[in-house]
Amino acid sequence: MTRILFVCTGNVHRSVFAERLLAARLPPGSSLRPESAGTEAWHRSPMEDATSAVLKELGGDGSGFVSRPLTDQLVASATLVLGLAREHREAAVRLAPWAMRRCFTLREFMRLADESGGGVGGFQALVAAAAARRGTAAPVPPDEDDVPDPWGRPRHELYECAREIDGTVSRLARLWVMSDGGASSVGDKTV
């Protein structure tokens, strides 16, 4: 089983959307397991109603979700750690410096994975290729790697955040299928 860990601040919006929408976009029986955690999360808090409603609108399943704080064990056990902002990637690296080559922001990883040409050689090879490209790719403005936090913002901003994450994790699901050699199609609900 391959684990992807999504990290945000409270583990109540961005990382939840990434975890649950990626799960919804993967083919049945996929060996990819999306998970999430937060750098300031409260242990075992339920999903917020607004997050649950938006998730459901986009085809995700919020059942059984509880938040959890980011730990070095979570970082160490993940094949790929994807922060929703640079601060989250940095927090993961501080907890587990040896995992640095597996820690990216979601946007950064997708940019580097797209540039590396897809999933030839399996998913771990894709992660390694993205890490190798990190030092050679043209720099981007810092805010291009961050998904803005919708905390305390109007519902339409929460929804737009979820839509953006959905589009990105749908691409990630396609990369997984290409690199995994598994299913021939991925449910891609682009809204």
If phi over 0 gives left and psi between -120 and 50 gives alpha, with beta otherwise, what is residue 157?
Answer: alpha
pLDDT range class, residue 23, cuts 50, 70, 90: very high
State which residues form the domain around 164.
2-180
pLDDT range class, residue 185, cuts 50, 70, 90: very low
Whether 145 is in a domain gets the answer: yes
Whether 188 is in a domain gets the answer: no
Whether 185 is in a domain gets the answer: no
The rounded distance, in Å, linking the Cα atoms of 37 and 181 is 28
Q: What is the pLDDT of residue 117?
A: 60
Is there a contact between 147 and 85 (Cβ–Cβ < 8 Å)?
yes
The rounded distance, in Å, linking the Cα atoms of 162 and 19 is 11
The rounded distance, in Å, linking the Cα atoms of 78 and 33 is 9
- The arithmetic mean of pLDDT across residues 156-175, rounded, is 97
Q: Is 34 helix (H, G, I), strand (E, B) or coil?
A: strand
105 strand-pairing partners: 83
Q: What is the pLDDT of residue 118?
A: 55
68 exposed, middle or buried (CB, 10 Å; 0-12, 13-18, 19+)? Answer: middle
Q: What is the pLDDT of residue 179?
A: 84
74 exposed, middle or buried (CB, 10 Å; 0-12, 13-18, 19+)? Answer: buried
Domain total in the chain: 1
The rounded distance, in Å, linking the Cα atoms of 178 and 44 is 34
pLDDT per position as a tens digit, 80-128:
999 999 999 999 999 999 999 999 999 999 999 987 665 567 899 999 9
What are the backbone angles phi and psi of residue 16, rounded to the nearest 5°?
-65, -45
Whether 118 is in a domain gets the answer: yes
Q: pTM score, two decimals?
A: 0.92
The string of DSSP letters for 48-89 reads PHHHHHHHHHTT---TT-B--B--HHHHHH-SEEEESSHHHH
Whether 72 is in a domain gets the answer: yes
- The arithmetic mean of pLDDT across residues 48-64, rounded, is 96
pLDDT per position as a tens digit, 26-40:
999 999 999 999 999
Residue 91's H or E segment, with its range, is helix 86-95
Whether 67 is in a domain gets the answer: yes
Whether 23 is in a domain gets the answer: yes
Q: What is the pLDDT of residue 119?
A: 52
Residue 114's H or E segment, with its range, is helix 106-115
Share of the chain above pLDDT 70, in %: 91
- The arithmetic mean of pLDDT across residues 128-139, rounded, is 90
Whether 191 is in a domain gets the answer: no
> Looking at residue 167, which CATH number applies to its domain?
3.40.50.2300
Token pair, residue 108, equals 């950064």
